[in-house]
Amino acid sequence: MNKRQRAILVEFTSVIAITAMAVVAMINLKDWVNRSEAIRAMNHLSQKVLEYQNEYRRNYLQEYGKDYPYAAVPTEYYINSIKKSLEGWVRLGNLQYRARWIGPEATPDEVLAYTEKRYRSSLLSDGYVVLRLDGRVEWMGKQEFEQLLARQQSESEIEMMHK
């Protein structure tokens, strides 16, 4: 192999390596943006839920003279009606809303809504974007979330989910 052939081979190999790295970087970037947009959309949903709760609590306080924390969550119909108006709502995917399983005894850390996110990326692991009853939105790893949800689910909710 002469000097010119060796130079062409080195350049070709370099171009292939750089292209492969760029493709991997783009896949990871796409997944990172997707996750960020899902979290942002869930934050918008959180704001709408908190507005609803505050309005409901204000009306309840006026009517009954006492506060009604955390049990005042919007119905699934309300969530479905506003979901498409949220910025980035498409990134939420299959949103699971748990309002029907939340009662007056609920605590602020109860999971109100969640959506599963799966990635082909080597840098991002699969997990869930979670909305808590107090309005916090967070990313949770798959195992951590499934353990949390198992502690919070009732027998009837588990039954309904498997049907």
- The answer as to whether 115 is a domain residue is yes
Whether residue 64 lies inside any domain: the answer is no
Q: Is residue 67 in some structural domain? A: no
Per-residue pLDDT of the chain (163 residues; tens, 9 = 90+): 788 888 888 888 988 989 988 887 787 778 888 888 999 999 999 999 999 888 887 777 777 777 665 557 888 999 999 988 988 888 888 999 998 888 777 888 899 999 999 877 667 788 999 999 989 999 999 999 999 998 888 877 877 777 6
Residue 65 lies in a domain: no
Which residues form the domain of 155? 3-48+74-161
Q: Write out the two tokens for 151.
A: 């502690």
On whether residue 120 sits in a domain, the answer given is yes
| 72-to-31, 67, 68, 95, 104 alpha-carbon distances in Å | 34, 10, 7, 20, 8
Q: Phi, psi at residue 82, to the nearest 5°?
A: -100, -15
**Count of domains in the chain?**
1
Is residue 156 situated within a structural domain? Answer: yes
Asked if the structure places residue 19 within a domain, the reply is: yes
Enter the pTM of the model: 0.78
Residue 66 lies in a domain: no
What's residue 69's pLDDT?
58
| Rounded Cα gap, residues 71 and 87, in angstroms | 26
